[in-house]
Amino acid sequence: MAKSFHKGQWTVQLRNAGKLRKDLDDIKASNAKAVKATVSDMRARAPGAIASCVTAIYNIKKSEITPASGKSEKPKKMAGSIRVSGETIDEMTITYTGRMLTPTHFGMTPKTPPKGKKYTLKQQVIKGESKVIGRYLNTRTPGGPYAKRSHNILMGTGAKSVDKVAAIPFQRMSENRTDLRKFTTISMPQMITSDRVAPSIKERLSNMLRERLDHHMKRQLGTK
């Protein structure tokens, strides 16, 4: 380092400035690569982490709220759709869309109506909290299929394949056979944004982001 005075000013001349500039450029490039790799990791891992937070509270299969990977088929009862967008950490967005779900996603029993027998219809939306959502009484009795108004009872969907949902709950609202109200529970976006789940998702994704960024920074800078 050479030092000299010029008109009362202190001037510093750095030797090997070209190499220093190259080293700084290399560090900048390494940082960009680390950020890009982190975003790639988050795009791949975040949906699964979110699904784990949801299924820790709600009684729904993880496969129903996780995108299918590779060539694997999606389950028949997908709870909605997921879209991951953005190429930087600040721009990355995970968008969940989905309809209101029927109890078939939440351990509904029975799955099909026992022929000619009365039954109690139950679901378990929150793990460990089984609730009665309807009752079916014998034919031509109050609350039965010929009543003016019924409880939530199972009605066929018309599905022929055994791997499809054969029946879902409806409530008969009047004597009119087409005056039916489908029973629904909660949607996938509602589960994710609920007070029961949202805080754990935020914490888990924040920890994941820090861990992956630290991992890739060390790898790029050769300090791992």
> CA–CA separation, 131 vs 187, rounded Å?
18
Read off the pLDDT of each residue in 4-13 and give the average, rounded to a whole number.
53
Q: Which of 75, 44, 73, 43 is nearest to 60 (CA)?
A: 75
Specify the pLDDT at position 76. 57
Burial of 147 by CB count in 10 Å (0-12 exposed, 13-18 middle, 19+ buried)?
middle
Place 160 in a pLDDT band, splitting at 50, 70 and 90.
low
Q: Could you give the count of Cα atoms lying within 13 Å of 206 in the half-sphere of its Cβ? A: 6
The overall average pLDDT reported for the chain is: 83
Specify the pLDDT at position 6. 47
pTM of the model: 0.79
pLDDT at 198 over 60: yes
